[in-house]
Amino acid sequence: MDQGAFLQLDGIASKYGSTPVLSDINLSIARGEFVALLGSSGCGKTTLLRVLAGFVNPSAGKIVVRHRDVTGLAPDKRGMALVFQSYALWPHMTVDQNIGYGLKLKGVPRADIAKKVAATETLLGLGGLGARKPAALSGGQRQRVALGRAIVVDPEILLLDEPLSNLDARIRLTVRHELRALQQRLGITAIHVTHDREEAMVMADRIVILDAGRIAQHGTPEQVYNRPASAFVAAFMGAENSLRLHGTAKGTTFAVAPGDSNDAADIPMLCSSLEDGLVEARFRPEAASLFALTDTVPEEGGRFRGVVSTVTYPGGHWRHSVRIGDADILADASRAFEPGTQVTVHVPPQALFLFPAS
């Protein structure tokens, strides 16, 4: 256990009946840190958040806050507040009443509740909306009310269960930055569940990627993006292109052997150690460059020969599907290559992630 951690998860496991959902979760979180739990549906991230909140009892392990074991405490005794995905606002209550509800349950005097609610509404840009009911608010305003209800009780830890997923894309971009700025200004420790990779990257100090109930990797956004620990993490962080290559491990470099569709290359082993033989190479579409066969291709990095299958324009660049051997990959380019064109796909060495072949 990390004796300096503000929040410590020590060997947390959880089951639904006989089905394991979480296994051996060990994580230390610092005071004021913003941590994103990232993963696909069913990976266990929401269950982990509910274990933290006290709504689900772990089958093993303990939760420690400021060196105090809170594993067996009721949700309202943990110093935490949870913002739900659906906001869970009382439809018959006004904004003032919704935000002040937790304070009312704590027995705070009515005059003090009014002061704290007013201050919270000002902080969240809800001034003048206190008498409205949720039905008269926009999605972004309802999200702020739900957040206000959570922070008005001065929690030490703020738990966020995909609170932005019900907002449209334009509002979500604005609110995510507002939420991050608010968390930093208040100094609250925040744990945010999301399946949105970009949302986790722009909001979190640290990202924890879950896979089948286990931590696949955790680190800063830059670390998990540029040094994925496994092929799963690489794919989840956008490196969905996959090719099989042969080669030889030489210290910290893997010497890729020339093949029917690729040239020889020396690639640094940034993510994992490798043995001689077959490896899996992963890279992102935006990391690749396309060259005509008559073009000069950079020597460093991976060079793969293929044929363009389709081309689309998602905006800002052209996206190509390229057939390389028996695999199809995506690659972006500033100009369009017609289907049927033979091309060379180049990937810089630092953007080509190599893993043991599964």
- Residue ranges, CATH 2.40.50.140, the chain: 241-356
Q: Which residues contact 294 (CB under 8 A, 6 or more apart)?
A: none
Res. 123: pLDDT tops 60: yes
Q: Note the pLDDT of residue 85.
A: 77
Average pLDDT for 62-87: 90
Q: Note the pLDDT of residue 347.
A: 97
Res. 349: pLDDT tops 60: yes
- Residue ranges, CATH 3.40.50.300, the chain: 7-231
At 3, the pLDDT band (50, 70, 90 cuts) reads low
Q: Note the pLDDT of residue 114.
A: 94
DSSP secondary-structure letter at 184? H
| d(C-alpha 282, C-alpha 244), whole Å | 9
Q: Could you identify the residue written with the tokens 């959880």?
A: 14
On whether the pTM is more than 0.95, the answer is no
Res. 2: pLDDT tops 70: no
Q: Give the count of beta carbons closer than 10 Å to the beta carbon of residue 72.
A: 10
| d(C-alpha 21, C-alpha 270), whole Å | 31
Average pLDDT for 327-353: 96
| 3-state secondary structure at position 118 | helix
Taking CA 133 as the corner, what is the angle to CA 127 and CA 139, rounded to the nearest 5 degrees?
Answer: 75
**Range list of β-strands (E), the chain:** 7-16, 19-29, 34-38, 60-65, 68-69, 80-83, 157-161, 189-194, 206-211, 214-219, 241-250, 253-256, 265-268, 277-283, 289-292, 302-312, 318-324, 327-333, 342-347, 353-356
Cβ atoms of residues 357 and 256 within 8 Å: no
Q: Note the pLDDT of residue 297.
A: 92
**Do β-strands 342-347 and 302-312 pair in parallel, antiparallel, or remain unpaired?**
antiparallel
- What mean pLDDT is reported for the chain? 92
Spatial CA neighbour of 243 closest among 325, 317, 341, 309? 325
Spatial CA neighbour of 193 closest among 76, 23, 78, 52? 52
What Å distances lie between residue 133 and 113, 114, 142, 164, 206, CA to CA? 18, 17, 9, 20, 36
Res. 7: pLDDT tops 90: yes
Res. 148: pLDDT tops 70: yes
Average pLDDT for 288-306: 94
Q: Give the count of beta carbons closer than 10 Å to the beta carbon of residue 315.
A: 5
Q: Note the pLDDT of residue 125.
A: 84
Give the tens place of pLDDT for each residue, 214-254.
999 999 999 999 999 999 999 999 999 999 999 999 988 99
Q: Note the pLDDT of residue 235.
A: 94
CA atoms within 13 A on the CB side of 279: 26
Give the tens place of pLDDT for each residue, 161-188.
988 877 777 778 888 888 898 899 889 9
Q: What is the dihedral of CA 301, 305, 306, 310, to 10 degrees?
A: 40
Cβ atoms of residues 270 and 222 within 8 Å: no
- CATH architecture of the domain 241-356 equals Beta Barrel (2.40)
For every residue of 32-81, DSSP letters joined together read T-EEEEE--TTSSHHHHHHHHHTSS--SEEEEEETTEE-TTS-GGGTTEE
User: The tokens of 308 are what?
Assistant: 């363009």
Q: Note the pLDDT of residue 271.
A: 72
Express as a percent the part of the chain with pLDDT over 90. 73
| d(C-alpha 347, C-alpha 176), whole Å | 32
- CATH architecture of the domain 7-231 equals 3-Layer(aba) Sandwich (3.40)
What Å distances lie between residue 351 and 221, 267, 269, 312, 333, CA to CA? 16, 10, 11, 23, 16
